[in-house]
Structure 1
């Protein structure tokens, strides 16, 4: 059974009271993602809801830098609409058959167990293919027909035919937009087949605006003073600029600070409040110790410049 959800109340954004989106009435399905505190950005949310409402034979491809919140956007929308999700992280050895299913020993006999694609198509769930640009383009070509709404045929199971549920949606995420990794930031990213990419509408997501991240930090780490939060966000954005780079080429850093990493830094700063320099100590454990020594030094210099006297006294 379906249910209409008021957009303003459901997602905490400004919208006309009568504007609704359709989801599922059953809130107890085990595949519904866990709901957590989340601040939605209006523009990306608008695109996702439009796709969920009327896909018009498209898939949805969400691209953006690592840690920008591509997957969490979808899962938190699904959590509020009671929409079950099957999420798969792609890699170079993943095959279409892994998504369809396989014969498995069940109670002493071999039975065909449907994979995430077959289940989502059959039951009207969301299928999220994360890091899809790591998967072999020749394998992904097998999804062309199902994206357009054609029946799913499973040769391994005697030619079983599954007609797509009207609520089935296919969503992909990737650090590239299907044209390969131009800056050399992401190992293993492959250029995707043009015919496959033509079946998707594209949504590009960047890192959140400082005001939004400040709201998130204030909610998740309320003990952190506002002036320190503001400087942490400035440091995060400087790190991101050096990671992403620009038209001239790749960035200078091989690591970046996601919103998740920013929250980790703030939380650890509060936890290690008694350390000689809690900000530096927490920053190392939240991010910098993953970087090369030269990069770690650059990250520390960024933080010292932004925080000034607070860098040694906090």
Structure 2
């Protein structure tokens, strides 16, 4: 497997490497599309360890992570979930958007995020000590539905945490070019559009332009889609359903591209 492309922003690689040596749980904070998942993929590859990713949502339960009994033929057998597998075999488990999961997930990982480093499986009545190479990583978007999907201080303080944000224009341009092969001048224009929209706080957008959206637009342009149309379908339309806001953003981006 090729090394996932990742452009360092601050000291996050150094911080993660030292945290991995200590096997302290690690929390990635930041908006959607700022490279949190790509970063952990890059680090797992760099550290030559297996990464198991769980994309959390409102139905994600502790059973999904720990495991369940299943019917196999004429007997009932236990099937380990991804968390149990990672704990036993010593992998990195990445809980993407942990705040979206049900509260019982947080309860299940508490004993893994302190000095005990153990997982209790109530359905088996067993406690499993974590493999020496096991590490728990989670991501969290603090700005999403503020007040509703927050992490409790008692959970936050079990992690080393680092904040991700949109990179400065020069670095973001480099990311778009490296990811898509697009001309640097076009990448610069896309980044300028993103920066302008991010500063338009009066529009009341729930999410703003992520680097991921810029990469999508650049890919479409690279394979021949007209620039204005690519920006419209890959950047503007995913942001909002408000027709007036869409038209305002379209007018802005058409001028800048």
Is 1:43 aligned to residue 11 of structure 2? yes
Q: Which has the larger radius of gyration?
A: 1
Kindly state the Cα deviation for residue 138 of structure 1 after the two structures are TM-superposed. 4.9
Whole-Å Cα distance in 2 between the matches of residues 266 and 48 of structure 1? 30
Match of 2:98 in 1: 132
How many angstroms does 1:188 deviate by? 9.2
Q: Which runs of 5+ in 2 are unaligned?
A: none
SS of aligned partner of 1:186: coil
Q: CA deviation at 1:41?
A: 3.1
Unaligned runs of 5+ in 1: 1-32
* Cα displacement (A) at 1:241: 3.0
Q: 1:85 to 1:174 in 2, by over 3 A?
A: same
Question: Partners of 1:135 and 1:220 in 2: how far apart?
Answer: 31
Distance 1:300 1:84, change over 3 A: same
Establish whether residue 296 from structure 1 lines up as the match of residue 246 from structure 2.
yes
Distance change (3 Å), C-alpha of 1:221 and 1:129: closer
Report what 1:260 is aligned to. 212
Partner of 2:42: 76
**In 1, Cα distance between equivalents of 2:145 and 2:203:** 12
Report the CA distance between 1:100 and its aligned residue. Answer: 1.0
Higher relative contact order by CA 8 Å / sep ≥ 6: 1 or 2? 2
Q: Structure 1, residues 258-291: CA drift from partner, whole Å, max 9, x if none?
A: 2221111122123335xxxx22111122122232
How well do the aligned residues superpose, as a CA RMSD in angstroms? 2.4
160, 167, 170: which one aligns with 2:133: 167
TM-score, normalised with respect to structure 1: 0.73
Q: Tell which deviates more after alignment, 94-103 or 133-142.
A: 133-142
Deviation at 1:139, TM superposition (A): 4.0
Q: 1:55-96: CA deviations, max 9, x gaps?
A: 3xx321111011111111001110222211111122223222
CA distance in 2, matches of 1:111, 1:134: 30
Counterpart in the other structure of 2:179: 220
TM-score under structure 2 length normalisation: 0.88
Aligned length: 254
Cα deviation for residue 52 of structure 1 reads 0.9
Match 1:203 to one of 159, 162, 174:
162
Aligned position for 1:237: 195
